[in-house]
Amino acid sequence: MASLREFLNRLEEEGNPEDLCHVTEPVDPADFEVTAVLQHLENAGRYPAVWFDRPKNLWGQPSAFSLVSNLFASRERCALALGLERKDKNLPLSLEYARREERMIPPTVIAPAEAPVKQVIRRGEEADLRIFPIVRHHEMDPAPYVDMTPFMKDPDSGSYNGAFLRMMYKGPRRLGLHMSPRHNWQIARKYEERGMPTPVVVVVGHHPAFYLGCLNVSPFGVDDYHKVGAIMGESVRLVPSETWGEAIMVPADAEIVIEGQILPGERDVEGPFGEFPGTYGPQRVRWVVEVTAITHRRDAIYQDVFVGHRGNWIMGAIPKEGSIYNRIKGVIPTVKGVHLPLSGVGRFHCYISIDKKVDGESKQAAFIAMGECDFIKHVIVVDGDVDPFNEEQVWWSVATRVQADQDVDVIKNVKGNTLDPSQTDDIMTAKMIIDATKPVRRPFAARIRVPDRVMQRIDLAQVGLTGPRSKQTAPASAE
């Protein structure tokens, strides 16, 4: 069965230090020491998954749990997670995600005795969050945060929804929960309107394909356990929760599951928190989760995401790229690629390449992208000769094929994202389309190129290509 440890074992066997590193000395996650390691690596241009062997728990003692972070900080690792090859890391990865997202694989219910996540069960006062190496990420975060995926169940349709949400440690059995007005927010609102607590199941540690599956962009009401199974390529194994039994099911192959309930009508201050744009979201008045039970594997691995950094951006980009590509292809069959680059935190910028046949197709493609994903602010449409995964090429295209008075459109007062620090309105944002394609209806300069026939004839391995000559070996001068 797919699990976090199975994926990590694969990386261990491959032995590539750019894919997986261990930190063998003790670190204190609650005192920023985990994120300091990750920041140092990032400063050096390195993005391995990092497995901390000896993190401290919230008592400052050696934790019984090791800790993994940065797992998604490489598109190649995400390709491996979906069973693809490293070379498929760009558009093929996004398209494979989109292909799987069209499907549903129903979950499988197993007996608790078979479920690894039930190896240790802690209920009531024993369900103490301080046993975990919970990470405090950035300077203005007021506390350690659990930043993996709470699952909630829609009381009307019975469908589950999972999403990455920030959860602030507020006490041994208490978490502050931030939600944007999306699917889990809708579910919690329904329970609260009925005066009922909202059951929450936080999945901390699972196969990376499980979490990529949680980021699917399906409509509200589509069951995420089915969608996650489709993305993973295998049925998600479920087992009854400790708190609600079969009424709320939890993933059997998770490392850790935290069960709790959002208390109706109860709020508390939460944040600030270093968020995905690389800026802090402000302190707010948010929901409170009371922890009811914790279950985990005997040697469970605690998982974390370095929010606001590369892994957070890549995992946000992949699910959207494929679905946007498919929607555009329905209208513009010559679309060649879609990319949400790191420079746009995997959400705010969208590069689309099309083999444009008639003028106007660029803007049509941009509208589709913005309609498909409300995160997207800036769309750059380029010709098919430009690789949307090559940012230098994209901006060369803007430099040479754009006249701002003719090719740039700004659309005001569109729903944006509450965490975009540039927004001057609470909800609404401005969007921009840059059409960096060549016009079809008038002559346009051709791009320079070395003739193909000569490029094919010349092989670098055959031309005597060497490094620089030292003075001693340089040819004698004519003097």
Partner 1 sequence: MATIFWVTCPRCGGKFYCHTQDLRHTDWKLLCPFCQHRFHQDESPQIVE
Give yes or no for residue 141 binding partner 1 (CB under 8 A).
yes
Give yes or no for residue 284 binding partner 1 (CB under 8 A).
yes
Give yes or no for residue 1 binding partner 1 (CB under 8 A).
no
CB of 308 to partner 1, least distance (A): 14
Give yes or no for residue 283 binding partner 1 (CB under 8 A).
yes
Rounded CA Rg of the chain: 25
Q: Judged by CB, which is closer to partner 1: 89, or 170? A: 170
CA distance 253 to 112: 11
Please list, in sequence order, all residues whose beta carbon lies within 8 angstroms of the beta carbon of residue 88, skipping any fewer than 6 positions away: 79, 96
CA distance 151 to 184: 8
Taking CB under 8 A as the criterion, the residue among 405, 426, 459, 479 binding partner 1 is 426
Q: Judged by CB, which is closer to partner 1: 286, or 339? A: 286
Taking CB under 8 A as the criterion, the residue among 107, 229, 260, 281 binding partner 1 is 281
Sole residue written with tokens 């709020």: 267
Q: Judged by CB, which is closer to partner 1: 9, or 180? A: 180
Tokens representing residue 448 in the block: 């320079």
Q: Backbone phi, then psi, for 452, in 5-degree steps?
A: -55, -40
Give yes or no for residue 419 binding partner 1 (CB under 8 A).
yes
Taking CB under 8 A as the criterion, the residue among 282, 333, 360, 371 binding partner 1 is 282
409: left (phi over 0), alpha (psi -120 to 50) or beta: beta
Tokens representing residue 183 in the block: 């699917």
**Residues in region 105-124 near partner 1 by CB under 8 A:** none
CA distance 143 to 132: 14
> In b/e form, how buried is each residue of 240-254, taking b as 16+ CB within 10 angstroms?
bbbbbeeebbbbbbb
Give yes or no for residue 375 binding partner 1 (CB under 8 A).
no
What is the Cα 10 distance to its own chain's centre? 21
Are the C-beta atoms of 327 and 370 separated by less than 8 Å?
A: no
Sole residue written with tokens 């204190």: 28
User: Which of 173, 163, 237, 153 has its CA nearest to residue 203?
Assistant: 163
Taking CB under 8 A as the criterion, the residue among 39, 334, 393, 418 binding partner 1 is 418
Region of 42-50, 194-202, 420-428, 460-468 interacting with partner 1 (CB under 8 A): 420-428
Give yes or no for residue 278 binding partner 1 (CB under 8 A).
no
Q: Judged by CB, which is closer to partner 1: 137, or 297? A: 137
Give yes or no for residue 145 binding partner 1 (CB under 8 A).
no
Give yes or no for residue 422 binding partner 1 (CB under 8 A).
yes
Give yes or no for residue 142 binding partner 1 (CB under 8 A).
yes
* CA distances (Å), origin 435, targets 106, 255, 355, 422, 442: 42, 46, 13, 23, 15
Residues facing 378 on adjacent strands: 349, 432
Region of 8-16, 141-149, 209-217, 362-370 interacting with partner 1 (CB under 8 A): 141-149
Q: Judged by CB, which is closer to partner 1: 155, or 272? A: 272
CB of 403 to partner 1, least distance (A): 32
Give yes or no for residue 171 binding partner 1 (CB under 8 A).
no
CB of 282 to partner 1, least distance (A): 4
Region of 310-318, 342-350, 380-388, 415-423 interacting with partner 1 (CB under 8 A): 415-423
123: left (phi over 0), alpha (psi -120 to 50) or beta: beta
Binding site for partner 1 (CB under 8 A): 140-143, 269, 271-272, 279-285, 418-423, 426
